[in-house]
A and B are shown apart, each in its own frame.
Chain A
Amino acid sequence: MDDPTEVKVGIPSDFIKFADNQLKLNGQLISYLESESGGYSVENIGKLGDRERNILFKNKAISTRWDSCSHKTKEGYLISILVELSAGVSSSEADRDDSVEQKPDEPDSSAPIKKPGGVASGAGSENEIRLELTGITKIYPAVIANEDVSLKVRRGEIHAVLGENGAGKSTLMKMIYGVTKPDAGEMKWQGETIRVENPAHARSLGIGMVFQHFSLFETLTVAENVALALPGNPDLKQLADQITEVSNKYGLPVDPQRLVHALSVGERQRVEIIRCLLQSPKLLIMDEPTSVLTPQAVRKLFDTLRQLADEGCSILYISHKLDEIQELCHVATVLRNGRVTGDCIPSQETPHSMASLMIGKDLPVCQHEAPAELGDVRLRLNGLTVESDDPFGTSLQNIDLEINSGEIFGIAGVSGNGQQELLYALSGEEPLKENEAIVICGKAAGKKMPDARRVLGMGFVPEERLGRGAVPQMSLAENALLTAHAGGMLNKGMIQVKVMNQFAKRCIDKFNVKCGGENSAANSLSGGNLQKFIMGREILQTPKLLVAAQPTWGVDVGAAAFIRQELIDLRNEGTAILVISEELEELFEISDRIAVIANGKLSPSKKLADTNIDEIGVWMSGMWPGAENSEGQANA
């Protein structure tokens, strides 16, 4: 027990060892914390309430508070949090383990942060290479995240980093942003070899990053959230003005006074982008920024990015969407399994050639024939109206809808326009007062609970997987029982363990869920795999009506195509399917009819053949023929 390194477990053990050497590691600690929190400054983390901190560190309960910490120094506080955090890092989350790894004997690990001022800043020519990576390698215990990656970003260049989920894009970006240190390789910033110590260092160099997963405090306003990321105590009023100014300049409307919990996903992303832009970066890293925007908003964002690039800012644009990259990016670097599989100029490539670089084969395409004869009406909404309790929620107004057996009905829309409320009303988690407002398979079901609606033949896939679609601590088999219990898993109220296990196994096999078996706990799976399991659980029950929210959210390209194909096959067997998604491409790939929800109202529906992405995009801002425009635009 004498050797402190022996009693620790998990990856951060190296880090804890270093933590003994407090002063040396101050920078490391800060970067670890800041990376974990998505870029907040350390003092501010300490001052937060428990609730906020828990949101910040997701599932990790951090009990050490700044005021109650026995060490009143920054280092002492950092270390006490770190000890807590380190134990919370599970080995499955390789992504997070790394930030603490470092070669102990590296001579410059304690070197002072270099001021960017010494470098020729912005004075270079058009062709100046702003960032150059050579032979960057990052190895995690279980997986090689990046191997010998090299790329160059020039001044004013929009450079795409293209790759599937897990290809190593995010790890690479984290290394550039100082969240993680490479195991090997060299990084040059404006011609000078550097080692980015932590995100604060990166920001001082002029590198900004918009994270894929937002880390905003729901109980604080937009302005307060932005203030938290800035050093010191900025004046909130002045900051609000700045926010408004930036948001107008770059077409990112957001009200600085609103509380974040009332913002839609799209709006939250805008806050993240604005937070970055306020620091006028020279290199902006965007991690999958468009997934929640309308096509028009995407175009606006592209205008913003082009504007930034023209002003000399370099942009690293991470995405797996080929069309976007073709439209926006000057250069693309394609990653597969952590390695660069090619560099290309997107405008000279076809989507197919880029896809084969990205996934090593042709992009899978769903077989989507025209629907057969439509059958009976499986879901009917009669003037569905729901008043939202939440002052910032969206009330549903008079929604009429009919979905027949054998068709897939897609509802597009920017998040925060009533999708949540509609989903809760449909699932029965918020039963209605009007029984006739929802008719499932011919039976009025507005007042029915979710289990009663399942009995009528409805399956439901919620947006949140962990904690709603699945019980985190329970096994996959038990999670199958959660909704699939009607299929012979119960006998006089007793659980038939065999049937339950068999169902779970079937689901795991068919949907290629990567896990340790039907007895693994739901929270041991990655988000994409759990999504596959939940989709599989609902599809395997062959419901008469399936309502799915974001069916392929976070699932990699190949698996997403598989799930879409399964949905189409299910439709061909006569199921009526309602898909609510923010991914227009997905809706256009699988839907037979499509409508838009905006401001809690549903547009008329259109057959897929009679419409196109542009028209739906216009509708997504609330302006379809016959809509009352006086209500103003949607929350786009």
Chain B
Amino acid sequence: MLRLEARAEPSQLMSYASPLLAIVLMLIGGLILFYALGKDPVEGFRIFFISPLSDIYGVSELFLKATPLMLVAIGLAVGFRANVWNIGAEGQYIMGGVAASAVALYFYEAEGPHILFLMVLAGSVGGMLWASVPAFLKTRFNTNEILVSLMLVYVAQLAVSWLVHGPMMDPDGFNFPQSRMFEESALLPMLVEGTRLNAAFLFALSALVVGYVFMYRSFFGFQMQVAGNARDAARYAGFSAKRMVWIGLLSGGGMAGIAGMSEVAGPMGQITEHVSNNYGFAGIIVAFVARLNPVGIFFASLLMALLYLGGEQAQQYMNLPSSISNVFQGMLLLFLLGSDVFINYRLAWKRG
């Protein structure tokens, strides 16, 4: 019979192989799923994973979708490395979008580059403010940041819903719960003609580079790693635990907020109730699949973006419900956590 036995020490190889294994298992799971739904698995695979990338436009969409994921994931990874568990990036993302939209709507019909600049600023500040609530409660009253940040997601969702039904609603919008379409001056410039890929992608790439330098080369990054590995050693060295919590949550919140801004000032061009598209939660999966590593985050974001695109294609051409994307995301996380067991354990064949 097969059994698990503990390894002498965690396997380096497996910690990198496990995400790849999870991807393969997810693909196999997907094929089985298509088959069970009465679809041709090969055709399903083609539509889901190949056809979204068959032209330049498809690839640009991939980068577009990956942009907010990269932003969210790199911000979260900074905190996760110090064991600061910000699960509320979704809410911070929404509030970043709200704050950026407020700027855009305030400057409606105005011109000038300052508008976009202010929107980026507002987006990050909005996200950070939302993240500062769990940070404050954690450092002041030692509350659990997982719960507080998660609960604030639902507050943010209700808040944006109220805003687009009220103060931010388009006056000429026939009572639809959405804001005005932003003016040209409040939209991010396009990178490739004829696509929707915009300057936010560059933000994301630079965020990855900055994140890398911060995590692996800066003293702050080192301090956060110490705090994540050995609390007493961090205390002994005098690294402030409170500062770690603040940096961890604010970086996650700020990046999520910029991601929210990039969505309202990018493909959406307005704010609606559905500003988020689950990017805040998907970013958590991205960060873990990537082993909190910036290079990994780049690739994991692309993969996750492909799941979004594939899901849309599957809706269109295979008559599958939109939740198919979530199913794939869920499978990926499940298989990843499952595969991670093999970092510390191995399979052994045992007679009897």
Contacts and interface: CB of A to CB of B under 8 A. Distances in A.
B350 interface: yes
Interface string A1-34: 1101001111000000000100000000000000
Most chain A beta carbons < 10 A, residue from B218, B226, B230, B350: B230
B237 A451 contact: yes
B350 A8 contact: no
A471 B5 contact: no
Interface in B183-239: 213, 217-220, 222, 225-226, 229-230, 232-233, 235-239
A454 B236 contact: no
A528 to B, nearest CB: 19
Contact of A451 (B222, B230, B238): B238
A51 B332 CA distance: 32
Contacts of B222: 478, 481, 495
A7 B349 contact: yes
A427 B236 contact: yes
Contacts of A7: 5, 346, 348-349
B349 A485 contact: no
Contacts of B220: 493
A8 B3 CA distance: 12
Interface in B325-352: 346, 348-352
B218 A452 contact: no
Nearest to B9: A90
Contacts of A490: 219
A493 B346 CA distance: 41
Interface in A448-487: 449-454, 460, 462, 464, 467-474, 478, 481-483, 485
A20 to B, nearest CB: 7
Contact of A83 (B5, B8, B9, B225): B5
Contacts of B233: 467-471, 482
A8 B9 contact: no
Contact of A4 (B7, B226, B236, B351): B351
A469 B217 CA distance: 22
A20 B349 contact: no
B268 to A, nearest CB: 37
Contacts of A483: 236-237
A239 interface: no
Contacts of A493: 218-220
Contacts of A470: 233
Interface string A414-445: 00000000000001110000000000000000
A87 B236 contact: no
Contact of B232 (A2, A84, A468): A468
Given A4-B350, A495-B222, A474 B236 contact: no
A8 B5 contact: yes
Contacts of B352: 20
A244 B59 CA distance: 79
Nearest to B216: A495
Nearest to B226: A471
B6 interface: yes
B175 interface: no
A356 interface: no
A88 B8 contact: yes
A462 B238 CA distance: 13
B240 interface: yes
B241 to A, nearest CB: 10
Interface in A478-507: 478, 481-483, 485, 490, 493-495
Most chain A beta carbons < 10 A, residue from B9, B222, B351, B352: B222
Interface residues of B, number: 29
B8 A9 contact: yes
A447 to B, nearest CB: 13
Contacts of A429: 235-236
A10 B8 contact: yes
B219 A87 contact: no
A482 B226 CA distance: 8
Interface string B293-323: 0000000000000000000000000000000
Contacts of A88: 6, 8
B217 A495 contact: yes
B349 A2 contact: yes
Contacts of B239: 451
A611 interface: no
B8 A91 contact: yes
Contacts of B349: 1-2, 4, 7
A83 B238 contact: no
Most chain A beta carbons < 10 A, residue from B219, B230, B238, B239: B238
Given A7-B348, A7-B349, A8-B348, A467 B218 contact: no
A464 B348 CA distance: 38
A469 B213 CA distance: 26
Given A87-B5, A90-B9, A468 B348 contact: no
A230 interface: no
B65 to A, nearest CB: 33
Nearest to B346: A7
B343 to A, nearest CB: 12
B218 A494 contact: yes
A473 to B, nearest CB: 5
B8 A450 contact: no
A89 interface: yes
A470 B232 CA distance: 9
Given A7-B346, A469-B233, A495-B218, A449 B238 contact: yes
Given A450-B237, A451-B239, A485 B230 contact: no
Contact of B229 (A452, A468, A473): A473
A427 B238 CA distance: 9
Most chain A beta carbons < 10 A, residue from B220, B230, B233: B233
A334 B346 CA distance: 45
Nearest to A10: B8
B190 to A, nearest CB: 35
A472 B6 contact: no
Interface in B35-70: none
A84 B153 CA distance: 40
A2 B2 CA distance: 11
Most chain B beta carbons < 10 A, residue from A84, A88, A483, A494: A494
Contact of B348 (A4, A20, A450, A454): A4
Contacts of B236: 427, 429, 450, 460, 462, 468-469, 482-483
Contacts of A467: 230, 232-233
Contacts of A474: 225-226, 229
Contacts of B225: 474
Contacts of A86: 5-6
Contacts of A481: 219, 222
Given A4-B351, A8-B348, A451-B238, A84 B229 contact: no
Nearest to A454: B238
Contacts of B213: 494
Interface in A483-535: 483, 485, 490, 493-495
Contacts of A471: 226, 229-230, 233
A87 B232 CA distance: 27
Interface string B8-23: 1100000000000000
Given A8-B348, A20-B352, A494-B219, A450 B6 contact: no
Given A4-B350, A494-B213, 6 more contacts: A9-B8, A88-B8, A90-B8, A471-B229, A482-B233, A495-B219
Interface of B: 5-9, 213, 217-220, 222, 225-226, 229-230, 232-233, 235-240, 346, 348-352
9 contacts: A87-B6, A91-B8, A464-B232, A467-B233, A468-B235, A473-B230, A474-B229, A495-B217, A495-B218
The 6 A-B residue pairs with the shortest CB-CB distance, nearest first, are A451-B238, A450-B238, A87-B6, A1-B349, A468-B232, A471-B230
